[in-house]
Amino acid sequence: MVNGRSSGRQPVGEDHRFRTEFDTTYEPGELRAIAYRDGIETGRHTLRSATGPVELRAEADRPVVEADGGDLAYVTLTLTDPVGTLHTAADRPVRLEVTGAVVLSGFGSADPATEERFDATERRTYEGRALAVLRQTGPGKIRLLASAPDCDPVEVLVVAER
């Protein structure tokens, strides 16, 4: 379905290598796939177009890590619209600043063709995403400040405890 309008039904399954195709014309909004088995809905998945200004968001995988020198915190950085829909076509460089008892173990974007270094503090997003890996070096507060062109800076705090 494209913005609530059906694009028809196609068979899938082992005989079709679990794939199907629909000819549609791109338009912003919502694309929904609905799976049926014997006429009964068994699943659905929806993709939405990002609209409006780009926002930088950052989220740590957890608020507290162990201060043992080996624990890691993973900070996901995303470019979204104001309601949180991923802006997959709005990539831009993101700059990190980390403070506290912490080192930046890696900063990547999953871009298969990048020549950027994983130990640098600036990285271009790939399809709207990047990931920073922080390793604490002792107890205390860990602060990550991220900034990107035309976006408000964002901050993430993680606490390393013994």
The pLDDT of residue 102 is 95
The pLDDT of residue 60 is 98
* CA-closest candidate to residue 132, choices 61, 66, 64: 61
Give me 162's structure tokens. Answer: 């013994």
The pLDDT of residue 69 is 86
Distance from chain centroid for Cα 62: 16
The pLDDT of residue 16 is 84
* CA-closest candidate to residue 99, choices 48, 137, 51, 46: 137
pTM of the entire predicted model: 0.84
CATH T-level fold of 55-161: Immunoglobulin-like (2.60.40)
Question: Strand pairing of 154-161 and 93-100?
Answer: unpaired
pLDDT, tens digit only, all 162 positions of the chain: 999 999 999 888 888 888 888 998 889 999 999 999 999 999 999 999 999 999 999 999 999 999 998 899 999 999 999 999 999 999 999 999 999 999 999 999 999 999 999 999 999 999 999 999 999 999 999 999 999 999 999 999 999 998
Where are the domains positioned within the chain? 14-48, 55-161
Task: Compute φ and ψ for 16, nearest 5 degrees.
Answer: -115, 20
The pLDDT of residue 147 is 99
CA gap 41, 15 in Å, rounded:
20
CA gap 36, 126 in Å, rounded:
33
The pLDDT of residue 14 is 85
The pLDDT of residue 11 is 86
DSSP 27-88: -SSEEEEEEEETTEEEEEEEEE---SS-EEEEEES-SEEE-SS--EEEEEEEEE-TTS-B-T
CA gap 85, 54 in Å, rounded:
10
